[in-house]
Each structure stands twice: as structure tokens, then as C-alpha cells.
Amino acid sequence: MKIPTLLLLGALSAFAADRPNIVLLFADDLGRYASAYADPKRPSPNDIIRTPAFDRIANEGVRFDNAFVSAPSCTPSRGSLYTGRHFFRNGSFSQLHSRWQKGAPDPGDAIVGMPETLARAGYHVGWSHKWHIPERLIGGKDHQYSPHGNRISNFSQQVTKKPGIRGQIFDAVRGNFHAFLADRKDDQPFFYSFNPTNTHRAWVRGSGKALWGLDPDKLKGKLPPFLPDNEVVREDFADYLGEAMAFDQACGVIIEELEKTGELDNTLVVISGDHGIPGFPRGKCNVHDFGSRVLLSMRWPEHIAPDRVIKPPVSLIDLAPTFLAAAGTDSPDDPDGQNLLPVLKPGGDEKNLRGWALIGREVHVGSARENFLPYPVRALRTADFLYVRNFKPGRWPMGDPKAAAGDAMPDFKKINNDTRAAYADIDASPTKAWLVRHRDDDGLGIVLREGWEKRPSEEFYDLAKDPFQIHNLATDPAYAADLDRLRKLLMTQLEEGADPRLGDAFDRPPYCIESR
């Protein structure tokens, strides 16, 4: 029997009213930095940052202490989030800038993606600022909402030049969101992804203090031990935290607009980032915590218990299945992620979490190594250990030394501004330039080893004893059983996911090519 059109539309409208809006506030290059993470027992940069928007979502919902990306590189990280799949399963967008041999069949073409799945389920979907994966996953470029510009994406540069523009930048964030809402039909549920890039290099040197009152000297004794604790590095880090505060203020604008329109309590709000800090050793492009652990908080009243902290590791691949479950639909993409809602509801049990995160990467900067080869690495992060498998230990993990090879000493300004001058998988920065210039100084052994020197085929860290993952225990007999257990678990996951790395396919076309 054919259902009358009006009756069908009414039924769909009633169903839509029961489904939440979903707002993803997603920063570029932002690790686990928010004032909610400050801990008096463990001094860290979180002690000086102020993030009221993130803290509110965490306090009124849930804060994850150990959330990890699938890959600490922009495109594969975002691809895995929007598909719910491990990064290596996403074909062309499993590497930065979707490098792929032209004309070769692409397994990524068959992927629908979470946003498009929501659109097919009746959601109004849209995004602003950075996307960095195929636009078809969110219905095409027509779903981009930036009529008021992308000013937040170079916040410190604009405000340093024109201090009076500060308010206009946040007005633009508000205006873009309003434009998105204006295209919504009646009470249609919506998905909006806000993706500014202000925490990506480059930002204005000294802007953390000048624009946000962040005193670099207050970072003394709070940096991880694989970073030099000096004036250059502290200022660089403070400037980064200032950009994180700009992101948080923009998040506050969108949360405020949700509240004004009466939509906040029927909206699943999520704040996170695509990987760790850029331009620092062990940061972006690394599977260790400094490069792969990110902030994550979620709020959805009555469905997520308030003021809760989740300690076991989760992965951002869990977001797509969680969003789709909230919307009452399923993924067509055979996701690897887990729906978190049963655990987050009042009375939910953390024991039902997977309990580990799989992390890895291949190509970041294409020209970082000779013949455009990737640096293949996979890792498993559990509550107790980090196991790392470096598949090609003969390659430079952060890219070839290039201008810094041997006794060569490149110009400070060049290293500060040109990422590709040396160790191209570390973004250009004052910190990188200082390290290259002072690499022969006494006392920098750990810094250089963790920064760019070649790594063994396996790494293993006891997190209770070594939270900064400096002391490799892979050859310690006392840890042989634990290492073997995680090694087998990792390989099982890679085999079940048909990881192309197991056959070195990432070293050949269509994955490995000289140009996009």
C-alpha cells in the first residue's frame, strides 16, 4: 500500500524532532590543550591556558583524557574521522593532500562518509573553513558556509596588523553559522562542522603574550622533557596556546548562538582537533602522545552523563558511528569505530570501551624523503602501554636532513620559514630553527633523538613509569610478554583491515607518486 505523501512527511518530521543536531568544533593541529586538563600533580602547558568553551562542554558533558587520532596528519586524520575507518582503509585520502596516481582505481571512491549519510537521512549538513578531504563526502562545495570569510584562520596575523578587527573576526564566525542555519528547512536536524586553521603554522611571534596575556616564562618547568626549556621554545609554545584560545573563543560564539536559538540542549556538541602541535619534536606526524593525543569533550543533556571523565583510550574514528547512532541511522562504510553513546549515558560502563587506539601514518610532506617515500609507522596505545612499529627504520622519521645534512648549517631564517628546507615533516618554526642551529650544544641528546634521528623497528613504553615515552623498553626481557601481546594485537588489526602497508603498497603507485 502506498503511504500518502503528507502522512509520510509528517512521520519523517516527527522522527526528525527526536534526533539531535550535531555540531563538531574541530581545530587544526590542536593537541590536548585546554584548562580543563590542568592537573596540580602534573605541571603542563594546560596550567596557563584558558578555554571556557571547552571547559563548559566538558563540565556539562564528558571529557576524554585519552583521545587519539587515527593519523597525526591532516587529510588522513580527517578522513578517518568522517568515515569511522582506520586511515589506511581510505584509499586516496589515507595520506596528506589525497596523493593518488591519476586514473588508478580508488577504493576511496566507494566511501559515502558520515556527513553524506546524515544528509541522506534528512539532515541539513554544512561546513566552514578547512575540509581537506573529498568534498563529495559532505555533498559538494555547495555545502561550504563562509560568506563572511575565513578570518579566524589567521587570527594573530590579522589582529596584530589591525587590533580593532578582533571583534569582527568572531562576528564572521557567527555570521557563517547564521548563513548555515538560514538554509535549514523548518525543524530539520542539522550537522555543522567548524574547522578553523589558526592553530596551524604560521602565527605571529609574540602573539600569545601580546594578544592573550600568556607569559612564556610561566611555562618554565611545564614543557615535556624532550623540548629545550628556553626562551625561544617557551615563547613559541605560548603563541600556539594563544591560537588555541582564539579557537576556543570562536567555539564559544557558536555555542552561544545555539543557546540563543533554543537548540543547545537538543544538540550533540563535540570539540576536538586533528592531531598534535606543529613545529615541535615529537609533535605533529608522530604516533607518540605529543603528536597524536587530542582534546575531546562532548555534551548532549540526558543522553551523556554530565561532569564525567573517561580515562580509557578512545579514537576519533569512534565519532562517526556515535553521530550516526544519535541520528538513528547506520554507516554504509563498514567502520572500525565504536558507538560511544551506550558508555556515555547515565550509568554507562567504561568496561565496554574497546580500550585501545590504533595510530599510524604514511606520507605527510611528499618531498620529505628521497623518491617521495613515506615514513610507515603503526602503533597501539592502551591505558598502560604504547607499542610502536616502525616498518622502515632506515628512513628518516621526520624527513631527510637536506639542508642540515652533515656539517651543513642552514640559515636560521630559512629553517624558521621554509618547512621543506630540512626535516620536512616538522613544520617550520622558531623551535625547529633553534634546534638545527644549536644541535651541537651539550645536553640536547634526548631532544635530537626524539626530534628527528632514525628509530628502531620497535618501541615500547610503560606509561605509568614513563608518561613522556622516552625510555624504549622493546628489548627489556621484563616486558617481553606485554610487547608480544600488543604486537600480535596490532598485526591482527592490520591484517583484518587489509592494511596496504603489509605488502608495502604505500611505497608504490597509486599511493606513492611524485606529484598529486
pLDDT (tens digit per residue) in 161-206: 999 999 999 999 999 999 999 999 988 999 999 999 999 999 999 9
Residues 298 and 369 in one domain: no
* Residue at 374 is within a domain: yes
Residues 327 and 367 in one domain: no
Q: Which of 356, 384, 418 is the last residue of a domain?
A: 356
Q: Which residue, 356, 389, 404, sits at the end of a domain?
A: 356
Q: Is the pLDDT of residue 17 over 50?
A: no
**Domain identity same for 401 and 486:** yes
Q: What are phi and psi of 176, to 5 degrees?
A: -65, -40
User: Average pLDDT for residues 328-339, to the nearest whole number?
Assistant: 97
Look at 291-295, 383-387, 430-434 and tell me which has the smallest mean pLDDT.
430-434
pLDDT 10s digits, 335-358 = 999 999 999 999 999 999 999 999
Non-local (6+) Cβ contacts of 128 within 8 A are 144, 145, 146, 150, 176, 177, 180, 192, 193, 194, 195
Rounded to an integer, the average pLDDT of 473-489 is: 98
Indicate whether 297 pLDDT > 90: yes
81-85, 223-227, 235-239, 401-405: which range is least confident on average?
401-405
Domain termination residue (choose one: 308, 327, 356): 356
Q: What is the pLDDT at residue 515?
A: 60
pLDDT in tens, 250-289: 999 999 999 999 999 999 999 999 999 999 999 999 999 9
What's the pLDDT score for residue 516? 52
How far apart CA 352 and CA 219 sit, in angstroms, is 38
Structural domains in the chain (count)? 2
Same domain flag for 309 and 429: no
- Residues 467-474: what's their mean pLDDT? 97
Q: For residue 246, give the CATH number of its domain.
A: 3.40.720.10
Same domain (yes/no): 201, 274: yes
Q: Are residues 309 and 384 in the same domain?
A: no
Q: Both 197 and 66 in a single domain?
A: yes
Any domain includes 2: no
Give the sheet arrangement for strand 458-462, strand by strand: 356-361, 377-382, 385-390, 458-462
- The whole-model pTM stands at 0.94
- Domain limits at 236? 17-356
pLDDT at 372: 94
| Domain co-membership, 429 together with 327 | no
Residues 124 and 257 reside in one and the same domain: yes
Same domain, yes or no, for 313 and 373? no
d(CA 109, CA 358): 23
Q: Does some domain include residue 11?
A: no
**Res. 415 pLDDT band, cuts 50 70 90:** confident
Asked whether residue 343 falls in the same domain as residue 372, the answer is no
**pLDDT above 90 for 478:** yes
Looking at the structure, tell me whether residues 252 and 394 fall in a common domain: no
* Residue indicated by cell numbers 617515500: 373
Mean pLDDT of the chain: 93
